[in-house]
Amino acid sequence: MIRLLFNLFFSISLLASVSAQPLKVLAYNIHHGRGMDGKVDLERIAKVIAEKSPDLVALQEVDKNVRRSGGVDQAAELAKLLKMDYVFAKAIDLQGGEYGLAVLSKFPLGQSVVHKLPGKGEPRIALEVRTQYQGKELSFVSLHLERNAADARSEQVMAVMKRMGGRDHAVILAGDFNAHREGEPIQQLVKGGWNVLSKNDGNGIRTFHGEKHRKDATLPGRKEIDFVVLKGLKLSSYVHGVIQEFKASDHRPIYAELTTAQK
């Protein structure tokens, strides 16, 4: 009887510990694999991602069969290196191939939807991929907003909020917003009830370290422009940060480990 009770207690404890495993997400603008040394090196990108062993990865600036990066299907290659499933979505045609966004996943992938975003500049998209987390549906969205025009970024955020607003399950947005934490696009999300995870603690932390931008571009300064944003996911705790890697891309990846509240 005692052994039976012990086994039952152990099983319940084990199930509780499994259910409490955090959801690990990561967002990375990989600059088509080209590092600050000018070399295209996907193995280097994969090593940076593997450091956090994420469950879900949102990638921006991904090439598929593009001449400048050696004609490689970068999403497929990174998925192979990291032993993950993947979905790629084209934003534009480029140099005989395609350029866009990708999602990598350790979870089985369901439906994927490519959302075309408004704007007069370079065509922008959001890639929504549906999967399951703790037995519930989850939408994970990789996105890369307009670089040059602040009003276009705001319009794109409003479009994303409208399209995701009808979801009856949790949604995670992750990617390069090309906007600061205090900027209008991010504040629109905050006012809309989204939880914007932010590493900016007043010490000038940033996620971009590449070229100096024009005045109306991504905005200069030591601040974040890459974010993980949540809605419909009740958290008991989370860990969030920036991987301090400056060579593999012109952005540093951001990560979050999300522990959901248990009923």
Is the pLDDT reported for residue 56 higher than 60? Answer: yes
Q: What pLDDT does residue 198 have?
A: 80
Tell me if the pTM is above 0.85.
yes
Write down the pLDDT at residue 18.
45
The number of folded domains in the chain is 1
Q: Which two tokens stand for residue 16?
A: 């509780």
Q: What confidence score (pLDDT) does residue 262 get?
A: 77
Domain assignment present for 15: no
Task: Give the type of residue at 45.
Answer: I
Q: How far apart are the first and last CA of the chain?
A: 29
- Is residue 168 pLDDT above 90, yes or no? yes
Give the model's pLDDT for residue 22: 96
**What integer is the mean pLDDT of 145-170?**
95
Residues spanned by the domain of 65: 23-260
- Kindly write down the DSSP assignment for every residue of 142-183, as one continuous string: EEE--SS-HHHHHHHHHHHHHHHHT-SSEEEEEEE--S-TTS
Q: State yes or no: pLDDT of 147 exceeds 70.
A: yes
| Residue 1: inside a domain | no
pLDDT tens digits, one per residue of 101-122: 999 999 999 999 999 999 999 9
Q: What CA–CA distance (Å, rounded) separates 70 from 151?
A: 35
Look at residue 38 in the predicted model and tell me its pLDDT.
96
Is 6 within the bounds of a domain?
A: no
In a domain, 9, yes or no: no
Average pLDDT over residues 195-205: 67
Q: What is the pLDDT of residues 206-257, one digit of tens each?
A: 888 876 544 444 444 457 899 999 999 999 999 999 998 999 999 999 999 9
Percent of the chain with pLDDT over 90: 76
State the amino acid at position 48 in one-letter form.
Answer: V
Kindly report the average pLDDT of the chain as a whole number: 89
Whether 146 is in a domain gets the answer: yes
pLDDT of residue 125: 98
Average confidence (pLDDT) over 11-32: 74
Residue 45 belongs to a domain:
yes
CATH number, domain at 252?
3.60.10.10
Closest CA to 27 of 259, 203, 249: 249
pLDDT given at position 45:
98
Per-residue pLDDT of 169-183, as tens digits, reads 999 999 999 998 899
3-state secondary structure 92-144: EEECCEEEEEEEEECCCCCCEEEEEECCCCCCEEEEEEEEEECCEEEEEEEEE
Q: Residues of the chain with pLDDT > 70: what percent?
A: 85
With cut-offs at 50, 70 and 90, classify the pLDDT of residue 200.
low
114 in any annotated domain: yes
Given this model, what pLDDT does residue 210 score? 78
Asked if the model's pLDDT at residue 62 lies above 80, the reply is: yes
- pLDDT for residue 199: 63
pLDDT score at 224: 85
Q: Where residue 40 falls among pLDDT bands split at 50, 70, 90? A: very high
- Residue 7: its pLDDT value, please? 52
Q: Rounded distance, CA 147 to CA 154, Å?
A: 11
Confidence at residue 213, expressed as pLDDT on a 0 to 100 scale: 45
Residue 4 lies in a domain: no
Q: Which helix (H) or strand (E) holds 259?
A: strand 254-260
Structure tokens at 108: 């089985």
